[in-house]
Amino acid sequence: MHKHEEPKGVKVSPREGNALLQGIVICGHCGQFMTVHYHLYRGKPSPDYMCQREGIQHGKSFACQAIVGKHIDKAIGELIVELMSPVTLELSIAVQKEREQRWQESDQSWQQQLERARYETELAKRRYLKVDPDNRLVSCTLEADWNEKLEVLNKLHEEHENYKTQKISKSPNYSKKKLWN
């Protein structure tokens, strides 16, 4: 037994790995997509890009070519960092902040509209309840007014729910950390 040797051929699930080019590297020899395999390097999964589709398809165990991914990933990582300069990063964060602020402002405006509609409905209801039931004409008018206000309130509620659903589906879900990793 070679006790101090790195374990070879240890299977690491692709989900645990972090190869940058997973699923997008094309083999320069045959034009097939290359797959990513990981081996443990100093206890950490390190990617290898392998072209072995031919081999799998024809039941052969050879790889068309295999490239150690560590160095490629390093170069690509540096390129990404260069492209994603601090200015770009700050811009995208500013855009996100701006968007959140707008959502917040429009939410406040929703709350105000709802509050007002609730108040007016309550007022109409009280007016209706106060009127002498014998005074049918006035009573009818006030009841209709109350119903109308209720309808407005319900519609507003419904619109607000729709708006909130849209907001969730459109809301940006990335963070500074995710941009880098």
Residue (12 or 64) nearer to Zn ion, CB: 64
The DSSP secondary structure of 23-58, one letter per residue, reads: TT-B-TTT-PBPEEEEEEETTEEEEEEEE-HHHHHT
Question: Is residue 6 within 8 Å of 40, Cβ to Cβ?
Answer: yes
156 binds Zn ion (CB under 5 A): no
In the block, tokens 């941009």 appear at 179
Indicate which single residue of 12, 20, 21, 64 sits in contact with Zn ion (rule: CB under 5 A).
64
Indicate which single residue of 36, 50, 51, 153 sits in contact with Zn ion (rule: CB under 5 A).
51
What distance in Å separates the CA atoms of residue 20 and residue 80, rounded to the nearest whole number?
10
Q: How far apart are CB 85 and Zn ion at their closest, in Å?
A: 35
Residue (59 or 86) nearer to Zn ion, CB: 59
Instruction: Write the interaction track for Zn ion spanning residues 116-155; mark x where CB under 5 A is met and - where it is not.
Output: ----------------------------------------
Question: Is residue 143 within 8 Å of 128, Cβ to Cβ?
Answer: yes
In the block, tokens 């390097």 appear at 41
60 binds Zn ion (CB under 5 A): no
Q: Interface residues for Zn ion in 20-49 (CB under 5 A)?
A: 27, 29-30
- Which residues, in sequence order, are bridge partners of residue 35? 50
Q: Which residues bind Zn ion (CB under 5 A)?
A: 27, 29-30, 51, 64
